[in-house]
Amino acid sequence: MRKKVLLIRLSSLGDVIHTIPLANALKNAGYEITWLVSEKGIQVLEGNPCLDKVILAPVQQWKKRGFSFKSFKEYLRILKQLRQENFDIAIDVQMMFKSLYWMAFCGAKRRIISKQARELSILGANEIIPRITNNYNSSVIKNYMKYADYLGVNTEKVTVTLPQRTDEIKQRVNNLLEKADKPIVVVAPATTWVPKHWNKDNWKKVIDSIKDKCSIVFTGGANDDELIKYIGGDKFINLAEKTDILTLIEVFSRASIVIAPDSGSAHLAWATQKPAVITIFTCTPLEYLAPIGDKNKYIAVTGDLKCQPCFKRKCKFKTNDCTNLPSPEKIINIVNKLLLNQTNRV
């Protein structure tokens, strides 16, 4: 009988994607995998072959609703469901206060967490492994795999998987990209941290330089339309607010190149294992968060300021100088090289 493992990684989208290789390693080693996740990551896990079961904790809905008896009842129902699974092992990959209560009361015999856990979350565990991150100088994906190492699982191969898309989604993307008649370059310029945004005039220069060589497609959410229009969205295919996660996966899988800041979009594009991905890093650590794999395909670029990376949501100098780097010319050269290489392969 397979041992049952509960993975606790609630959010965000990028962090959920970074944890998928851990789930694959454990499942390939014979474990039965259940994943507790919030709304931000549910679509990349439902139907994902990396696990056997996914359980939704509607954390975002609870935040919007505020404390209520209804939310508490929902929490107890989910907790009861977890305890009924009789997990052999629970692993807290979130390592924050919001995962503490799930970890403490899930009923797993072994509850494992890293020594670097924050916000008292370590109190929910009964097994503590050494720190999995050291100064953010190694890949977050490989750091998470240290939980598998601890369980004696081989982690040499990093496998990332995503759900299959339906024929309906594929046809929808056919329609959305109908006017794309050249190699597709997807630009996803926005993310949730403002200091991670690259200078909008830099984006504009890149678009102006490459527009005749490719079909440019913009993607983004409800709050990104103004930025995208400034960069040039009115002149190209603008899919802002027109895609959910599964549709976005299909769009990325049709692209030759995806360009984005350090964001869920960049990590999702990497997870498709299809396009080349250019990730622009401003305040966050490249070595820690850059997509891993072929360095000629997954290209991470940053500036050379002494304060980089600060990994802070607010610039202590109040200048956000890192958002001006790298230069647009550097990104243009990378795009041109990738497009040329792809043309030569054809």
* 123/169 Cα distance (integer angstroms): 43
In this structure, the answer to whether residues 173 and 310 fall within a common structural domain is yes
Looking at residue 4, its pLDDT comes to 98
Residue 104 lies in a domain: yes
CA distance 47 to 321: 42
Residue 207 lies in a domain: yes
Residues 65, 112, single domain; the answer is yes
Asked whether residue 253 falls in the same domain as residue 317, the answer is yes
Same domain, 175 and 317: yes
Residues 196 and 339 in one domain: yes
CATH value at residue 178: 3.40.50.2000
Q: Are 74 and 15 found together in one domain?
A: yes
Residue 241 lies in a domain: yes
Please give the average per-residue pLDDT across 10-33, as a whole number.
Answer: 97
Whether residues 222 and 191 fall in one domain: yes
Residue 304, pLDDT score: 94
What is residue 342's predicted lDDT score, i.e. its pLDDT? 73
**pTM, full prediction:** 0.94
For residue 161, being part of any structural domain is answered with: no
Please count the structural domains in the chain: 2
User: DSSP string covering 62-84, please?
Assistant: HHHH-S-HHHHHHHHHHHHHHHH
Per-residue pLDDT at 341: 78
Domain that holds residue 329: 167-345
- 11 and 92: one domain? yes
105-151 pLDDT, tens digit per residue, is 999 999 999 999 999 999 999 999 999 998 888 999 999 999 999 99
Distance, CA of 138 to CA of 136 (rounded, Å) = 6
Let me know whether 58 and 145 are in one domain: yes
* 232-251 residue pLDDT tens: 878 899 999 999 999 999 99
Report how far apart, in Å, the C-alpha atoms of 254 and of each of 46, 262, 276 are: 22, 21, 11
